[in-house]
Structure 1
Amino acid sequence: MLDFAIFAVTFVIILVGAVLYLYPSSRRASGIPGLNPTDEKDGNLQDIVNKGSLHEFLVSLHQEFGSVASFWFGSRPGVSLGSVQQLRQHINPNHSTDSFETMLKSLLGYQSGMGGGASETVIRKKMYESAINNTLKNNFPLVLKLVEELVEKWKSFPEDQHTPLCAHLLGLAMKTVTQLALGESFRDDAEVISFRKNHNAIWSEIGKGYLDGSLEKSSSRKGHYEKALSEMESVLLSVAKARKARGSRRCLWTLFFSPASQNDRSWRTVWFSLWLDASSLLTCVFGHFTSFLGSDPITLDKIPQLRYCQQVLNETVRTAKLTPVAARLQEVEGKVDQHVIPKETLVIYALGVVLQDSDTWSAPYRFDPDRFEEESVRKSFCLLGFSGNQTCPELRFAYTVATVLLSTLVRQLKLHRLKEQVVEVRSELVATPKDETWITVSKRN
């Protein structure tokens, strides 16, 4: 009996030791080099939080493990691709799941009713492209009007007044998106401000609660989030229904909204894409632009001809990493290089890493719009979804608004960025002055 007990204990110890020894490799996604989960339930989520953002986590991951690296996004295995070569291998046979939706739909909580797979994505993209193109064509004078209003406001400021650049440009982005998307319902500043509050409450949780799971752990935060989301939905749906009833089809929302689609909440991502792309691009581009637009008034037809302006916007998107991460769910087993990617693996496109990859971009940390004169550079940028046929409709919308703003500003005003952070300035538009970009404005002679 004693011999048997000793044997049993020894066997258990050996078994446990074997499990502990084999555990890391058995938990690594399909043998791809990468991180083991630090927590059985949360995977590497805490590692992501500790790095400060998913982008910074991916930068560190690829520095350690190379251009194809694995990690655990909760209980789901994840594979991150960090070079153009690997992305090119993966995108072509796996282009059926929209990347932005993959990141948002978990928190926004919808299941699309348009069918699945590639057909759904193609149909939706064509619908959105048509809606946005028609909206810009029908409402281009409104874009000009909103930009002129901001320019006139800046012209009225004393030259030594410190102006919060980001706050004003975020306001312009919100006005442009809401009025083009929702029509005259958002002409009033108070309505825009109220809508923006709900939007900010939702977006802050997408940026934080989605990653660390803290939203589910706080009833007060979740209640605040759900209230904001409900109010935003209510406004969007009521406006669309009212405009449908009047037979109006000149605003974006009613071009693709139908009563039958009320339960299809995929339209939420359209709103967030439009607002995020427009606000981010407008805010970042002013650190780099120069006088390149000539003297003629801007029109919608002239925008594609402004080649250097397009290069400046492209380089702004690249260096600012406005979209540092995209994602796809591996619907069928795939392969990148010698690595097999199992079905239902979360595949991360580490765009922020790729956009600063020295193998793809010469002097990747230097702002150089002239790099886009090279065909190979334009092809790489197109592959990432930022230009050409792969450009998302929402980004095309943002490019249009940014070009109109640049062409108007550069003829009438000079913007001077303050070298030192301005912390003593107080503004109802700015919650934390030290985190704002402050400028002064002067008129051109």
Structure 2
Amino acid sequence: MTEQVKQVGEQEVTLLPEGNIATPQGFTAGGVHCGIRKTKLDFGWVYSDVPATTAGVYTTNIFQAAPLKVTQESISSGQKIQALLVNSGIANACTGEQGLADAYQMRKWGAEAFRVPEQFTAIASTGLIGEPLPMEKIKYGIDQIQMQGNHHSNRFEQAILTTDTREKAIAVEIEIDGQKISIGGAAKGSGMIHPNMATMLSFITTDAAVEAEALSLALKDITNTSFNMITVDGDTSTNDMVLVLANGKAGNELLHEGHPDWSLFKQGLAIVCEALAKEIARDGEGATKLVEVQVEGAESDQAARAVSKAIISSNLIKTAIHGADANWGRIITAIGYSDQPVDPDKVSISLGPVLVVNKGMPVPFDEAAAKDHLLQDNVSIHTDLGSGTGKATAWGCDLSYDYVRINASYRT
């Protein structure tokens, strides 16, 4: 794969073909099999050789898992993280006081292994809810951290997966203050994905120096147009978070909202987040297609986001797409129950290049052309509400027979 360049005004964001979470200077990552899962890698870590300014966003599910509570405590103590540990297979959610104690113990062991303060250590878990962490296996995984053969970013990408079918990684490069700056990331997510804070795990690194408050505000803003705009099945999980670590190793002047290149950095971060979000949607459990829903002509961007979420979240639409059925009536229905200001006489809908509704009325269209578009790996639905300048894009997938098969036997 060759480098790709995206233009941001007069400046450029370069997508690195082999980029990953360890691309930014000063970061390493790795993973091992510690025994939680039968054979797959199930314990991973990311390490910065200096403390990194850190921002996070977290699941809105009221049953927040123990690792989230511990990580939020670590970040709030000084907004600096140097080591991150992640296990898959067991979520350590709904595990009471013992689960919280195990999360603190996992953090403590990780801090000792990396020789950093406990408050500079973040943890995350993903997998089965209601089961205690097998602490002897967690300790075994941590004990393997110093083995150099385990320090490969693709091993980290594999170790954080659950029902995912592929690793998800990206990195971009920009130039700020005459210095090349990298932003890299890795994510997991396949099921229990709904646009209400990511519902997945995503970890992003950068060697840029960034002011803590500005980084936090940027992440929250970008999350609303990336991770919060994906859905697979309408379920919001208990463990999910997005973390961004900025260690400043690139040597740029401190980035903040008043810096002349702030918009360039923010766009680079947005490209990474959007790419990871789309990969999660594409890898939905049993999915065969990535679906993109574009809404424009809304009264506001917020209204456009709500309409696009209603469309992408509809199981009837998702099954129609799986069957390549150009059933635009299901799209109209979803728009109608989105609880947004919509004039039915102004709405137009296209399936890819095929216009099927024009200003609220059906139009004759080529069924074969519409079916051909719906048979593609990438399906697009475009809706013009005709009432304003608000716009938004959401991503999801089709709903297949395999989704039921996978989730009917998740525990077994």
Higher relative contact order (CA 8 A, sep 6+): 1
* TM-score of the pair, normalised by structure 2: 0.25
Rg (Cα) greater in structure: 1
Structure having the higher strand fraction is: 2
Report which of the two has the higher share of helix.
1
